[in-house]
Amino acid sequence: MTRLAVQAEIIKLARILNVPEQQLAFMQVLAPENLRQFRFAILELLQSQQKSRFRHLATWVNWLPRWISIFWVKHFLEPFIVAQIAVYLSTESSYRIAKHLPAKTIAAIAVYLDPRLARELLSYLTTYQITDITQVLLEQRDFVTIGRFVSMLSDAVLQDVAQIVENESDLLEIAFYIESREQIDHLVHVLPRERIEKALLIIGDPAQRLLWPKVLALMSYISYGLKQELGDLAVQQGEPVINAIIQATQEDQLWEDMLPVVACLSAHAQDFVANLPALRRVEIIQSIVEAADRCDLWADMLVIVNYMQNEAREAVALAIAQIDEQVLHHIAYASLLRSQWEVTFDIMRRMPIDKQRQCHRILDGYMQQLDPETYHYLDTLLDRYQIQSSVAGS
C-alpha cells in the first residue's frame, strides 16, 4: 500500500460521492486497489439505481432522428444524464452524436463517463477532437478527468496531448490521477528528457511545495527500470534536489512510497543518497525504519543500508532497537530473502547487548533449518561481528 496511491483514490471517490475529501479520511487505512474496486462498485450502484430510466432514454435517443438527439444533448440533457445514457448506446451511436458536439459539451459529459465504457469511443474520436477536449479540461483544471482517460490513449495520441500540456506542473497533476500505472511509463517515454528534468526540479521550488508529493508519486508509480532512470536523473540534479525530496518525504511521511525508489537506484546513486547528511538525522532514520517495518519493506531497506557508512548505520541500529522484538524477526526474514546477512550483522553488533541476544535467539531458530554450508557461514559471521549469545553470560 502507498499513501500517495490511496490519496489519489480518495480524491476520485470524494468527487463521485460529492463530499469533501476529509469525510473519507477514515478510508486511508485501505489498500489503493480495494479503494479502486469500491469506487467502481459505487459507479455501478449509481448507474443501476435508475437503470430503467436511462435505458428508456437511450431507446428514445436511438429512435429519434439524429439531429433531434444532438439538439437534446446540447440544450436539454444534463451531462450526468448523457453519460448514463451512453452506457446503453452502441459505440457507433454514441460517436454519431459526439462528433457533432462541441469540445466543451463532451468535456462536461466526460466528467461523469465511466472510463471502462469509453475506450472504444475514444478510438472513434480524432486526435484533433481529443486534444480539443483536453484543452477544455485543462482550462477547467480538471486533472482527475484527464487522468482517467489518458490511460486509454495510444502513444501517438498521448504524445499530441502531452504537447498541449505546456506546464510540467500540469503533467504531474495528470500523472497523479492516471488510472493505469503502466500508462505512466508511456507518458514518461513520450516526453522529451528536458521536460522530465523540469518536472523533477519542481521539488526544489518552495513556491510549488504543494506539488512536491506529485513528483514523488511519479517516481513511485513507474516501473522498476524507470524508477532507476528517473531516480538517477534526480541524483544528477545535485544534493539540493535530493535534500528537497528527503524533506518532502519526511514532512508528508511518504517513506513507504520512496524506499522502493531508492532501492532501485544504480549503485553510484544509492551510495550518494544513502550517505547524505540528511539521512543521518535521527528523526528521519526513525521514520524510515518505522515505514520499512510497517509496510514490509525490509528487503529494500537492507539494500539501502548496505551503502550507508558508520554514522548512518549507528542511527539505523538505534532506531531498530527502539521497536519491539517483532521487527527483528522481519529483518531476519528479509536478510534470508536477499542474502543481506553481512549488513544485517553489522547493524546487530551496534545494538545494545539485550537486543543482540534477542537477535541471536531469533537466528538460532533460522539456523536449525539451514543447510550445513549456510549454517557455517552464519556461525562465522556471528563470531566475526561478536554478536552476543542468546544465553546470558556466555
366-374, long-range: CB < 8 A, 24+ apart:
366/332, 366/336
Q: pLDDT value at position 95?
A: 86
Whether the CB-CB separation of 323 and 293 falls below 8 Å is answered with yes
The rounded distance, in Å, linking the Cα atoms of 191 and 249 is 25
N- to C-terminal Cα separation, the chain:
43
The rounded distance, in Å, linking the Cα atoms of 288 and 57 is 55
If we measure between CA atoms, which residue out of 120, 71, 72 comes closest to residue 94? Answer: 120
Q: Residue for cell digits 542474502? A: 339
Q: pLDDT value at position 286?
A: 92
Q: pLDDT value at position 309?
A: 92
Q: pLDDT value at position 294?
A: 92
What is the Cα 191 distance to its own chain's centre? 19
Q: pLDDT value at position 108?
A: 93
The rounded distance, in Å, linking the Cα atoms of 261 and 237 is 16
Whether the CB-CB separation of 168 and 198 falls below 8 Å is answered with yes
The structure's pTM equals 0.82
The one-digit pLDDT tens for each residue of the chain (394 residues) are 488 899 999 999 999 888 999 999 999 999 999 999 999 898 888 777 777 888 888 888 888 888 888 888 888 889 988 888 888 888 888 888 888 999 999 999 999 887 767 777 888 889 999 999 999 999 999 999 999 888 788 888 888 998 999 999 999 999 999 887 777 888 888 888 889 889 988 988 889 999 999 999 989 888 888 899 999 999 998 999 999 999 999 999 999 999 999 999 999 999 999 999 998 898 999 999 999 999 999 999 999 999 999 999 999 999 999 988 899 999 989 998 888 899 999 999 999 999 988 988 888 888 888 888 888 888 888 888 888 776 554 4
- Three-class DSSP category at 277: helix
